[in-house]
Structure 1
Amino acid sequence: MTTRFGTGRGRPEPGLEAIMSERRQLINIAYRLLGSLAEAEDAVQETYARWYAMTRQQQDAIESPGAWLTTVTSRICLNLLGSARARRETYVGEWIPEPLPERTEWTSGRAGTSADPADRVTLDESVNLAFLVVLESMTPAERVAFILHDVFCHSFAEVAEIVGRTPAACRQLASSARRRIRNSQPSATPAAQSAGVVRDFKRAWEAKDIDALIGLLDPDAMAVGDGGGLATTFLHPIEGGRRIAHAWLELARRKPSDMAFLERTVNGQPGLVAEQDGVIVTVFAFEVTGDRIKHIWVVRNPEKLRHWTTV
């Protein structure tokens, strides 16, 4: 953290601007820990509520407000991760991390930039949807140790204070998390190449070209839908490129006349959205390996698309 204050009696009170300047960093951490921008915002809001609930004397006793805010946010997220597992057992259908919106189209693999970067989660490989899906397979402690140490460069001593374990134990947690990622993540495909594959998929889809769709999908591809019981989608993953191609052909045949498929950046990667009457009703995220699509994630739960209505 970069926030610093003087010490002793003459130390100025941490002002609103200095404290709130940590918000962007806290949202970045909380989103990666929770996989939900809405829950991340709630966690950060709770953190600030706890800060301002303290007396001036209690605030003065905190040497680094930024570090305190990070610790509290991380602990809140750690508790939420435990309860989230129980909630997801009763979730209708598959649960997919909440996709992050972008304001502009992607062009040749280049992501657009937000008009309001202060409130935007920094997009890098650690918010790639495929990466977040792997994080979901980790224990809460593994996820916290890995994100704080490997992504945000906190020491294992700092992580240990948050998760309530020894630094050596946290080192092991992060190492286990890295193994999960290595075993699950394919070699990275250049963004421009991924964009070309996704664009070709969109054209084949709109043309109802079944052969082209099959050719663009990995034979072992998987498609996962998330409607949360609030929007219609397939409840179970579709496995196999040929089956996915036929399912997408059926979607194209049923597409309402007022719906358009648009190229949009999703979690820093080329993706697609379905827009109907000016409202984003579906977000499609892709994992491209080489020149074929390996995974498609389809998010239709309107609660996970609220941020897309304001981009």
Structure 2
Amino acid sequence: MFHQLLGCSSISFRHQDLAAALHTMRGLGFEEIDLGALPGVCDHVAYVLDAAAVEAVAAVVNDSGLRVRSVNGDIGDLNAALDAGGQDARERHLGMLLALAAKTGAKALVLPCGAIDHEPVRSVEEDIDVVAAQLIHASQRAAEFGVELWTESLHYYRLCWNTGRAQLLADRLAGSDVGIVMDFSHIVASGGDPVDFVDRFAPQLRHVHLRDAVPATETGPGNINLSIGNGKADFAAGLAALRDVGYAGHFSLELETRDVSHDERPAAAAKAASFITDLIQTASPHIQGAP
């Protein structure tokens, strides 16, 4: 079996419908998942949510017997300038995602760190001010539902796409209840170092995504869609750094990979889980794996 702190994101099996993806992950031996709710990336949760849709998705998830660590969602570009109607729509969507997180027993809702664009709407500083304010507001609403609010920062394709911008956002979130999700692939693709990332953001780290990547070169952009072992991420060093700072959160394979076929994907996920389980045990032998 895999390590007790290691789960799998439903994004890893986004080509399957939700029930099939849950069945696949359970069959591989996972006991915990992240639930993907990212329109255009993973459609396991519809972007247009209402109370009936929340109940339907929660029923499928709860029937699976899998624990949910987080719901990975999106409520639109947090640095966008919205009119009153747009803000009301965002609030409704946020409420539905938080209700889904609560009904599935998730610990947190994860939101992005800005628009899918490196260029700011105003200036970098002003846009990150807006993103931080929106995340802090979302965390206050999350508390009403009994869940936490985390943000995946840095994210190679979004506003906070590198370590410098992630630092600007983390500084603004310091002292709030917003946690940070670390993703090895986004760090590596941006040219960053996972060990440096851990050292910088240790007090705010709440969750870790695992996928491989290669950094950008003079001939092409970074690639975050690689199976573990097919890129340049130093998982051993990153996991050891997490151990050294006393990280007590969980891990999730988010295998949005494009170097295996759909038929090969279950075996690739199992292989990655075994590899990471061994590394977690090596980094922190006092933490016992699942029986």
Structure number, greater radius of gyration: 1
Using the size of structure 1 for normalisation, the TM-score is: 0.23
Using the size of structure 2 for normalisation, the TM-score is: 0.24
